[in-house]
């Protein structure tokens, strides 16, 4: 299947890789189908969560544990049930990034992670209401090589 994307033009995707967000994503409730695309040729912590229906709607997401190894999220029974989670290893977590001109001005939304059950292809953005995490958590500045 071919889709139009925000960052890569027309791409071929496998329909089996489409993740359904039954409730959409907050502020985009009508958007139900997304696909995770690599951010660059090489796999890394960054991905694009691209709407299947709307080319202009794409979010830069990342594996939060790359930069925040102590990040903790407890999934509610309601979330586990809604995503049909049967085993912890079936679930992947991502956080949305807000990228600015400089890395120092960019941020990660640690308060609203994206949870995807890669076995059932169901997803949901949750809100960690009772959390010290921020929606604009500063990204750590990468160490300079050789130092």
Domain ranges of the chain: 2-138
Please, are residues 121 and 18 in contact by the beta-carbon 8 Å criterion?
yes
Please, are residues 48 and 5 in contact by the beta-carbon 8 Å criterion?
yes
pLDDT(144) > 80 = no
Q: How far apart are CA 108 and CA 63, in angstroms?
A: 10
Homologous superfamily of 2-138: BH3618-like (2.30.290.10)
Neighbours of 18 (CB within 10 A): 16
Q: How far apart are CA 85 and CA 124, in angstroms?
A: 12
Residues listed for the chain: 147
pLDDT at 146: 44
Q: For residue 112, what is the DSSP state?
A: S
pLDDT(145) > 70 = no
pTM above 0.85, yes or no: yes
pLDDT tens, residue by residue, 22-80: 999 999 999 999 999 988 766 678 999 999 999 999 999 999 999 999 999 999 999 99
């Amino acid at each position: 299947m071919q889709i139009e994307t925000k960052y890569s033009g027309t791409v071929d995707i496998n329909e089996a890789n489409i993740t359904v967000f039954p409730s959409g994503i907050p502020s985009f409730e009508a958007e139900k189908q997304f696909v995770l695309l690599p951010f660059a040729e090489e796999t890394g912590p960054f991905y694009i969560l691209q709407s299947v229906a709307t080319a202009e709607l794409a979010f830069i997401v990342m594996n939060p544990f790359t930069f925040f190894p102590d990040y903790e999220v407890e999934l509610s029974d309601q979330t586990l049930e809604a995503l049909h989670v049967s085993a912890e290893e079936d679930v992947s977590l991502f956080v949305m990034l807000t990228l600015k001109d400089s890395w120092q001005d960019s941020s990660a939304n640690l308060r609203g992670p994206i949870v995807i059950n890669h076995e059932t292809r169901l997803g949901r953005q949750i809100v960690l209401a009772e959390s010290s995490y921020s929606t604009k958590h500063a990204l750590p500045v990468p160490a300079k090589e050789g130092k």
